[in-house]
Every structure is written in C-alpha cells, then in structure tokens.
Chain A
Amino acid sequence: MKFGVVVFPGSNCDYDTFHVLQNVMGQETVFLWHKEHDLRGVDCVVLPGGFSYGDYLRSGAIARFSPIMREVKKFAGSGGLVLGICNGFQILLEAGLLPGAMLRNKNLKFLCQHVHIRIENNRTAFSSAGHRGQVLRIPIAHFDGNYYAPPDLLSELEKNKQVVFRYCDENGKLSEEANVNGSAHSIAGLINHQGNVLGMMPHPERASEKILGSEDGKIIFRSMIDYLEKKRGTGKKKATRAFRPTVTPLPPLIGTF
C-alpha cells in the first residue's frame, strides 16, 4: 500500500511517521508537500504532528487552507483513508473533516508523557487489529488536546460509536486523573461518521518500536494496512505483512515555504 505523509511548514513528526510506515510497517511511503495539488496516487493520507504554521491563530487553523488540504478533503469525501495525529487531528477538526474543536489542556500545561488509551470501537479501519477494551500505551505531546463538542454532538458521537480511543489508567479505567488534558468524555481518538477519517492526539508513530518502550502504536497502522489490503483484495498479504527492518535513507524535502 502507498502512504502519503503531508508536510506543512512546522510539521515535526513527519519523518518519524515516514520511518515507521516505510521501515517498520514495510509500506511504500511518500512525502506530500503542503503546496502540492496532487496526492500522487496514495491509498492513505497521514497528517502528522507538529506545529503547522507555528500554530498561530489556533492549532491547525492556517494549515487547513493549504493547497494540499483541498485534495485531502476531496480524497476523504470519496472514502479515502485519512489519519490525523496530534496537530493532524487539530487540522482535521479545523478543516471540518471531523466534528468538534480543541481547547487548551485543562491544567494549561504542555503535556509530554506516556498515557494509556482504551480501544472503544475496534470495528474501524484504524483499530481492527486490536480488541475492544484493549489498553494501549502511547505518548502524547500537546498543548491543545482538550477535546470539546457541544452536548448534543457528544451524544451523537457516542450513539454512532465514533469515539475510538479514550484516555484511561493502565487498567483501562476511566477517571478524571487519567483524562490528562480534560477532554470531553475522555476522548483521545475520534472517527467521522463514514468511518474513513480518524484523528487522535496520542502519537502511534512514537510507540511502534520496542526500543522506544512500546509497540502498541503498530495496532493502528496494522489495522489501516489490513483495511486497505482487504479493500483492494490483494492476495499477497503475507509478503507485505513481513516486518522489514531495513533502514532506507529518507528523501530530502523539496520545496520552499
């Protein structure tokens, strides 16, 4: 499968995401510069973490007007798989591809730590490799991750099972303490109604190798690859499933701001 990692000025998890998709998950991966008008035939778009456009105005507010976002919206509209991680999640919210908004963390601090999240819905293209109630250990690093939606929208999201991940403690229990940033309903990851766009604040690309302390993030990427392979109906599942820890040098970024 071919993955595209969008690079905005200020993205800083783009290379980590590229590395995990290509070298850990063994998938063809390309960078998509924010000024591009073409998604280059990718099967999936990933909006990585960072501080796009310095997060001026509001996190993700300027990035949504990038030329590439027009294409991402079209792609998502026709059922293409889109994953937004951290700042990528904020961009998806600002772009209206996911409902709701982000507020500053409840304690007004930038939070950079490992957290536990619970899989609430494993019947999605982003969580099928895990099971419902499974607890994942994945780091967060954000200032504005306090998910907000008005009450009627929250009940709609719950009814449609659009909450995919919730902050919890290591035993999978929800609590105010475990909900580190103060998100409504402890929401850590959210999917759109159609089921093809997911945003999550935790960074799965920072938890996909043993040496980094957790491989739980691979469940998200594995699920996406499984979904795409099933969709395409490829018979070569085993070949692409193989773990290939080759270190391919990453291409230099071409483009100007």
Chain B
Amino acid sequence: MKVRILVSLKESVLDPQGQTVRNALHTLGYHQVKDVRQGKVFEIELEGLDRAEAEKVIPEIADRVLANPIIEKFSWEILEA
C-alpha cells in the first residue's frame, strides 16, 4: 500500500522559507502568487495492513514522528491500495 503524507507548518506559525520562495517568484514576475507555504512530503509503502488498520497507523506515524504537532500539521492520502 502506498501512502503520501504531507507535513507543513500550521497557519499560525510564520514560514520564512515559504516567504522567501514567494518573494523570489515575485521577482520573476509571478505577481499572481499571493502566498507560499513550504512543507515536506513522505511517500511510505506499507505492508501487511488492511485499509482500516492503515487508516489507524498512518496518522499515528505522522503525529508521533513525521510532524511536530506544536508547529506542524499533516494530511495524508492512500495512493494505491
């Protein structure tokens, strides 16, 4: 089973990396870019779990390890069952 987990800073936390990317895009003339938030993508392959079990394990992994819940939020999707 292939899973994609997206980790990014919470809206309440300043993201200087995202701002720098936005400024660079503005410099290049892409003034339509209103805001940029930078994050991390994890592509994880799971085995030996059915969908219900995976749906329990994935947020646990994200919350315990991949994201720091104080500053980050996460979302996830199952790409291939």
Partner of A148, one of B17, B20, B66, B71: B71
B65: chain A residues within 8 A (beta carbon): 57, 61
A103: chain B residues within 8 A (beta carbon): 9, 13-14, 16, 71
Would you call A94 and B68 a contact (CB within 8 A)?
A: yes
User: Whole-angstrom distance between the alpha carbons of A119 and B78 in the complex?
Assistant: 50
Residues of A within 8 A of B (CB): 57-58, 61, 94, 100-101, 103-104, 106-108, 148-150
Would you call B17 and A108 a contact (CB within 8 A)?
A: yes
B16: chain A residues within 8 A (beta carbon): 103-104, 106-108
Give residues 45-71 of B contacting A (CB, 8 Å): 65-66, 68, 70-71
Contact of A101 with B70 at beta-carbon distance under 8 Å, contacts A57-B65, A61-B65, A150-B12 already known? yes
User: Whole-angstrom distance between the alpha carbons of A104 and B15 in the complex?
Assistant: 9
Would you call B20 and A108 a contact (CB within 8 A)?
A: yes
Give residues 1-51 of B contacting A (CB, 8 Å): 9, 12-14, 16-17, 20
| 12 extra interface residue pairs, beta carbon distance < 8 Å, beyond A57-B65, A103-B13 | A61-B65, A61-B68, A94-B68, A101-B71, A103-B14, A103-B71, A106-B16, A107-B16, A108-B17, A108-B20, A148-B70, A150-B70
User: Whole-angstrom distance between the alpha carbons of A144 and B10 in the complex?
Assistant: 17
A104: chain B residues within 8 A (beta carbon): 16-17
User: Whole-angstrom distance between the alpha carbons of A116 and B12 in the complex?
Assistant: 29
Chain B residue with Cβ nearest A148 = B71
User: Whole-angstrom distance between the alpha carbons of A108 and B23 in the complex?
Assistant: 14
User: Whole-angstrom distance between the alpha carbons of A103 and B14 in the complex?
Assistant: 9
A106: chain B residues within 8 A (beta carbon): 16
User: Whole-angstrom distance between the alpha carbons of A94 and B69 in the complex?
Assistant: 10
What are the 3 A-B residue pairs with the smallest beta carbon separation, nearest first? A101-B70, A101-B71, A101-B68
Centre residue among A94, A103, A108 by max chain B CB count within 10 A: A103
B71: chain A residues within 8 A (beta carbon): 101, 103, 148
What are 7 A-B residue pairs whose CB atoms fall within 8 Å in the complex?
A: A57-B65, A94-B68, A101-B68, A101-B70, A103-B14, A107-B16, A108-B17
Contact of A58 with B68 at beta-carbon distance under 8 Å, contacts A104-B17, A108-B17, A108-B20 already known? yes
Q: Smallest Cβ distance from B33 to chain A, in angstroms?
A: 18
User: Whole-angstrom distance between the alpha carbons of A150 and B69 in the complex?
Assistant: 12
Q: Smallest Cβ distance from B22 to chain A, in angstroms?
A: 13
Chain A residue with Cβ nearest B71 = A101
User: Whole-angstrom distance between the alpha carbons of A104 and B13 in the complex?
Assistant: 11
A61: chain B residues within 8 A (beta carbon): 65, 68
Q: Smallest Cβ distance from A240 to chain B, in angstroms?
A: 39
B20: chain A residues within 8 A (beta carbon): 108
Q: Smallest Cβ distance from A130 to chain B, in angstroms?
A: 30
User: Whole-angstrom distance between the alpha carbons of A108 and B20 in the complex?
Assistant: 9
